[in-house]
Amino acid sequence: MNDLIAQFRAGDEAAVRAVHQRYGGAVRTIARSLMSEDDLIAEVVQQTFIKAWRSIDTFEDGRDFAPWLYTIARRTAIDVLRKEKRPTTGDHEPEVDVEGPSVSFEQTWEKLEVRRAIAELPAAERDVVRLSHLVGLTHPEIAERLGVPVGTVKSRSGRANKRLYSALQHLQLPANQKGVSAVQGQEEP
């Protein structure tokens, strides 16, 4: 990863494309959490990567690149929203502001981390997780849809859950905090 960032810093086209490919979806999700217009979301994504490339010298080596980039994305989205709220001139209908749901940066980041962990599962396990947790099917329904025995679905589900638990341990609340664990979905003592 450090090599990719070094190449990105140097302006290597392949590295710029690789960084965009790796983080573009997450940046788009951050923008979408603050706005709904596709053209504004696309503008935020483009501006985020331009700003990141221009300010890459401020990025400290050894730090995690994703939170740094996501902070730029969130600030860029806020800037675009502010620009959109400015009064316009012309003879068109006035714009109407609509309140959207307020999603914190931490919530957005956690969702991205969960999505990335699911995407990194082997295909068979990923299918079971998506059908179970995102579609809401039972093990027998998943087995029927995939054409495999129920035991196979249970095995894949168990392996997937172990991999996800391991990949998402960094999202767990510290022991001194009470609440719902993002990984286990259970209330902690």
Q: Are 62 and 123 in the same domain?
A: no
Q: Are 75 and 119 in the same domain?
A: no
Does 121 fall in a domain? yes
Does 165 fall in a domain? yes
CATH assignment of the domain containing 123: 1.10.10.10
List pLDDT tens digits, range 132-165. 988 899 999 999 999 999 999 999 999 999 999 9
Instruction: Give me the pLDDT at residue 186, please.
Output: 43
Q: Are 9 and 79 in the same domain?
A: yes
Please check the confidence at residue 42 and state whether its pLDDT lies above 60. Answer: yes
Instruction: Give me the pLDDT at residue 14, please.
Output: 86
Q: Are 22 and 79 in the same domain?
A: yes
Please check the confidence at residue 88 and state whether its pLDDT lies above 90. Answer: no
Phi and psi angles of residue 186, each rounded to the nearest 5 degrees, phi first? -120, 150
CATH assignment of the domain containing 59: 1.10.1740.10
Q: Are 81 and 115 in the same domain?
A: no
User: Left if phi > 0, otherwise alpha if psi is -120 to 50, otherwise beta: which for 97?
Assistant: beta
Does 8 fall in a domain? yes
Does 180 fall in a domain? no
Q: Are 8 and 75 in the same domain?
A: yes
List pLDDT tens digits, range 124-134. 999 999 999 88
Residue 33: CB atoms within 10 A of its CB come to 21
Do you know the residue count of the chain? 189
- Residue 36 sits in which domain range? 2-85
Does 146 fall in a domain? yes
Mean pLDDT for the chain overall: 83
Higher pLDDT, 87 or 173: 87
pTM higher than 0.85, yes or no? no
Confidence of residue 95 (pLDDT cuts 50, 70, 90): low
Confidence of residue 115 (pLDDT cuts 50, 70, 90): confident
Q: Are 81 and 12 in the same domain?
A: yes
Q: Which of 74-83, 96-105, 150-159, 161-170 has the lowest mean pLDDT?
A: 96-105
Domain boundary, last residue among 18, 50, 85: 85
Does 152 fall in a domain? yes
Q: Are 119 and 151 in the same domain?
A: yes
Instruction: Give me the pLDDT at residue 187, please.
Output: 42
Q: Are 54 and 110 in the same domain?
A: no
> In which residue are the tokens 């730029």 written?
72
Higher pLDDT, 172 or 78: 78
Please tell me the total count of domains within the chain: 2
Please check the confidence at residue 43 and state whether its pLDDT lies above 80. Answer: yes
8 Å CB contact between 19 and 8: yes
List pLDDT tens digits, range 52-65. 988 888 888 888 88
Does 96 fall in a domain? no
Does 179 fall in a domain? no
Q: Are 49 and 123 in the same domain?
A: no
